[in-house]
Amino acid sequence: MIIFEDELWPHFGTIAQTRPLFALRVGALTLMERGALLAVQYGTNEPMGLARSHLMDCFGPTEGLAACLRVGAPVVLINARALDLAWLPELLKEPLNTVYLAGECLLGARITPALASAVLFYLQAQQAAAARDELLRFARFRDVGPAEPPLLLRYPWDLISQTGEQIVRDLALLEQHIPRLHAPPPQVTVRGEQIYVAPTARLDGPIVLDGRDGPIFIEAEAQIEPFSFIQGPAYIGAGSLIASARIRGETAIGPVCRIGGEVEASIVQGFSNKHHDGFLGHSWLGEWVNIGAMTTNSDLKNNYGHVRVNLEGVGQFDSGLIKLGVFLADHVKLGIGMHLNGGTMIGTGSNIFGLHSLPKNIPPFTWGGDVFREYRIENMIGVTRTVMGRRKRTLTPGYEALLRAAFELTRPAREHTVPPAVIPISPAAALALARAEAEAVGG
């Protein structure tokens, strides 16, 4: 299996600068995780990722793509924007050189290694349309549906709007390793039957698990503190802490997160903190995000109109959704008491503090509050090393190189909105900025 990115990856650019589309969580799992579980089920090899060049060292196959062609087995191609893989078992039964289309988009294919080698050049450059045209010269095709959910994601808000249904669709995969809770511990109130809890998860009552509207999955080593409420469909990742929080339906929380306050219909990719009170609704958080106490977002306009979103470098779009919150990319840090409007997008590595209301778009690697500046990459790397160390993770040379590459690739987005960090300022102002930066890092 090779999972490839296509031409529409820029639609997700703000939240995908440091991760490929197949590593974005939607529902309980990422597409790569979903493909890996299906690979075990159907006896195929582990899926391999094919993404933008600066991501390949961390997210691509360690042995290289050429290895998959040398084994002589059929190659299965999967679009990284694919949401539900219900169509994959049928594709695996198809004759060799069969292509699945979603409208005009290449959804998947089962082809010979020779034909795969003829299109990998295009797929490595995210030129799936050219790969599709080449495949159709030699292969039969089937149009399996429209190029929109539940077949293909098109915009970042699809991740949020599809998560509730996707958790339900993932039930067949998740119940293979998370057993159903038949005998809840004392002071744990269970409503409904679809409650799945790993044996090593810790449930400290009094808590309520309400599975009447959809399943609840709680992974290994997760801890649910007293006075928490979890409403399905919901997913709590391995090692995560729910700190006396209200987790409302259609929420997926990845591994090793610290979550408090109220969360509704949101995705937290993993290794992120929203430990204190405040509302997070209809939103997407990346990895290594930290949200200060009482910071909260709006997910509904006063006039109940559709929320509009500005996608950097692509344009402004009407999401078509009445309820939509915020998108915080990997490594975003927000100070205390901030208010974010629906449709806000904050780019990778930004460290924002000292504001009451934030602008709707903040470029990647932005630092500051009343005055925004380009975040010095050395400082950002230093903070990242510290933050990852607190979760017993190591900032590897490969991941550091990825962050530095993302910094350079996103420099044009900051040129007209954020002054460079090296602009000369007075000694007094420099001292004030240094103190503010030290406080932000320390918090």
Residue 407's H or E segment, with its range, is: helix 397-409
Which residue, 3, 158, 38, 152, is CA-closest to 84? 152
| CATH (residue range 2-154) | 3.90.550.10
Whole-number pLDDT of residue 73: 86
Is residue 57 a contact partner of residue 49, using CB atoms and an 8 Å limit?
no
Long-range contacts: 192-201, Cβ < 8 Å, 24+?
192/232, 194/232, 195/232, 198/222, 198/238, 201/236
- Domains of the chain, residue spans: 2-154, 171-442
Looking at residue 163, its amino acid is: T
Specify the pLDDT at position 83: 93
Q: Of 2.160.10.10, 1.10.10.10, 3.40.50.620, 3.40.50.2300, which CATH number belongs to 171-442?
A: 2.160.10.10
Separation of alpha carbons 401 and 75, rounded Å: 30
pLDDT digits (tens, 9 = 90+) for 229-253: 999 999 999 999 999 999 999 999 9
Which one, of 122, 95, 127, lies nearest residue 109 by Cα?
95
User: What integer pLDDT is reported at residue 439 of this predicted model?
Assistant: 53
Q: What is the pLDDT of residue 370?
A: 84
Q: Do domains 2-154 and 171-442 have the same CATH topology?
A: no
The confidence score (pLDDT) of residue 422 equals: 43
Dihedral sign (CA 154, 155, 156, 160): negative
Pair of tokens at residue 20: 């490929």
The residue length of the chain stands at 443
pLDDT computed for residue 430 by the predictor: 47
Q: What is the pLDDT of residue 442?
A: 42
Residue 76 φ then ψ, to 5°? -110, 125
Q: Are 300 and 325 in contact (CB under 8 A)?
A: no
103: how many CB neighbours lie within 10 A of its CB?
Answer: 13
Q: Both tokens of residue 28?
A: 């309980």
| Residue segments in the chain with a per-residue pLDDT below the cut of 50 | 422-426, 429-430, 437, 440-443
Q: How many Å apart are CA 309 and CA 311, to the nearest integer?
A: 6
